[in-house]
C-alpha cells in the first residue's frame, strides 16, 4: 500500500528528467499515471517501464498549450482509469538569450509552453473537479505547478523563462484561493535537478559525481511532489517549495515592507532620504542567478 493508492495522476513533460522521476515515484506509491509528452516515444518508454514494474500507466502526446488538447488529455485519462485526482504541470522549454537579444518568438514560445500550458490543463481539470464538487462529491484533487529559482530570484540570460516562472508562482497563489472551495489544493515547486534544460544551460554544475550522493538526481525531488499529490497533503495549499538533493524549503515571497506615511502627497525632491531609510530597514533581495 502506497500513499497514492487509487489516485490517478497526470504529469506533463514526463518523458524524461523530473517528469519521468515523478511518474516512477507516483507509480511506486500506487498511483495510475498518465505520461504526457510531445516526445511520444519517450512517453511510451516511461509508461512501459512503469507497467513492467507492475504499475498502471498511459502514454499521451496531446498538446498542453490548447484547451482542446487539454480536453483530450482529460478524456483519455477518464477512459483509461475512470477518474483523475492530481495534475503535475511540469513541461517546459528554454530559449535562453540576454534580454536585448531575445526575439519575439523566443518570448512567445516560452510563455506558450510554460504559462499557457499551466493555464489550459488546470482549467480543464479544474472545471471537471468543480462539477464533481457541485454534484456532492469531494474530488480531493491536487495541482502541483512548476516555478523555478529563476522565477523567484531572476536569472541572467533567462528573462523570458524567469518571467514565465514568476507568473506561475503568482498563478498558484490565486488558484489556491479560488479553487479551495471545490476541494482542490494548489502548490508550486521550484526544483533544482539534472534535466535536459539544466544540462544545456549549466552542464558542469549539474554533472553527476563519480561517487557519493548525487544532489542533482531528479529522483531527489520526486518524494515531495508525490506527497503533495497524496491525501496526506490536504491541508497544504498556496505554498511554493524549493527542493534540491536532500534540501527542502518554503519560499517566502513578496511581502509589504516597512511603511512611511506622510499623510499627504510626497514632493519628489523629499523622497531620497525616505527611500534610503526604507532600503536600509529592508532585507536585501537574494542575488539574481548568474551575478
Q: Would you list the DSSP string of the chain?
A: --TTTT-EEEEETTTSHHHHHHHHHHHHTT-EEEEE-SSHHHHHHHHHHHHHTT-EEEEE---TTSHHHHHHHHHHHHHHHS---EEE--------B-GGG--HHHHHHHHIIIIIHHHHHHHHHHHHHHHHHHTT----EEEEEE--HHHHH-BTTBHHHHHHHHHHHHHHHHHHHHHGGGTEEEEEEEE----HHHHHH-HHHHPPPSSS--TT-GGGTHHHHHHHHSGGGTT--S-EEEEETTEEEE------------SSPPPGGGHHHHHHHHHHTSPPPPPPBT-
Q: Show the cell assigned to 119.
A: 493555464
For residue 148, indicate whether it is catalytic. Answer: yes
Active site residue 133: no
Q: Cα dihedral sign for 196, 200, 203, 206?
A: negative
* 165 counts as catalytic: yes
- For residues 256 and 20, give the distance between their C-alpha atoms in angstroms, rounded to a whole number: 38
**Annotated active-site residue in 22, 159, 165, 230:** 165
**Residue of 148, 155, 159, 230 marked active site:** 148
Contact present, 144 and 169 (Cβ < 8 Å): no
Catalytically annotated residue among 22, 147, 159, 161? 161
> For the chain, what's the residue count?
291
The pairing of strands 247-250 and 240-244 is antiparallel
The set of catalytic residues is 148, 161, 165
Amino acid at each position: 500500500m502506497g500513499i497514492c493508492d487509487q489516485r490517478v495522476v497526470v504529469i506533463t513533460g514526463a518523458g524524461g528528467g523530473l517528469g519521468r522521476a515523478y511518474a516512477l515515484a507516483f507509480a511506486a506509491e500506487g498511483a495510475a499515471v498518465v505520461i504526457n509528452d510531445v516526445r511520444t516515444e519517450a512517453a511510451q518508454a516511461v509508461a512501459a517501464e512503469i507497467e513492467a514494474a507492475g504499475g498502471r500507466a498511459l502514454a499521451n502526446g496531446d498538446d498542453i498549450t490548447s484547451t482542446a488538447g487539454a480536453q483530450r488529455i482529460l478524456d483519455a485519462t477518464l477512459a483509461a482509469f475512470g477518474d483523475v485526482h492530481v495534475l503535475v504541470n511540469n513541461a517546459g522549454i528554454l530559449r535562453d538569450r540576454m534580454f536585448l537579444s531575445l526575439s519575439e518568438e523566443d518570448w512567445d514560445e516560452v510563455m506558450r509552453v510554460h504559462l499557457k500550458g499551466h493555464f489550459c490543463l488546470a482549467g480543464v481539470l479544474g472545471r471537471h473537479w468543480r462539477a464533481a464538487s457541485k454534484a456532492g462529491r469531494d474530488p480531493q484533487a491536487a495541482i502541483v505547478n512548476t516555478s523555478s529559482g529563476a522565477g523567484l530570484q531572476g536569472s541572467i540570460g533567462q528573462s523570458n523563462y524567469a518571467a514565465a516562472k514568476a507568473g506561475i508562482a503568482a498563478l498558484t497563489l490565486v488558484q489556491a484561493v479560488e479553487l479551495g472551495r471545490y476541494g482542490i489544493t494548489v502548490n508550486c515547486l521550484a526544483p533544482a535537478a539534472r534535466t535536459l534544460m539544466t544540462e544545456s544551460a549549466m552542464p558542469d554544475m549539474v554533472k553527476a559525481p563519480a561517487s557519493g550522493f548525487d544532489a542533482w538526481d531528479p529522483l531527489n525531488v520526486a518524494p515531495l511532489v508525490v506527497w503533495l499529490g497524496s491525501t496526506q497533503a490536504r491541508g497544504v495549499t498556496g505554498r511554493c517549495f524549493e527542493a534540491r538533493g536532500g534540501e527542502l524549503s518554503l519560499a517566502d515571497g513578496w511581502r509589504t515592507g516597512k511603511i512611511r506615511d506622510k499623510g499627504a502627497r510626497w514632493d519628489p525632491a523629499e523622497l531620497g532620504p525616505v527611500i534610503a531609510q526604507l532600503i536600509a530597514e529592508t532585507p536585501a533581495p537574494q542575488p539574481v542567478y548568474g551575478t
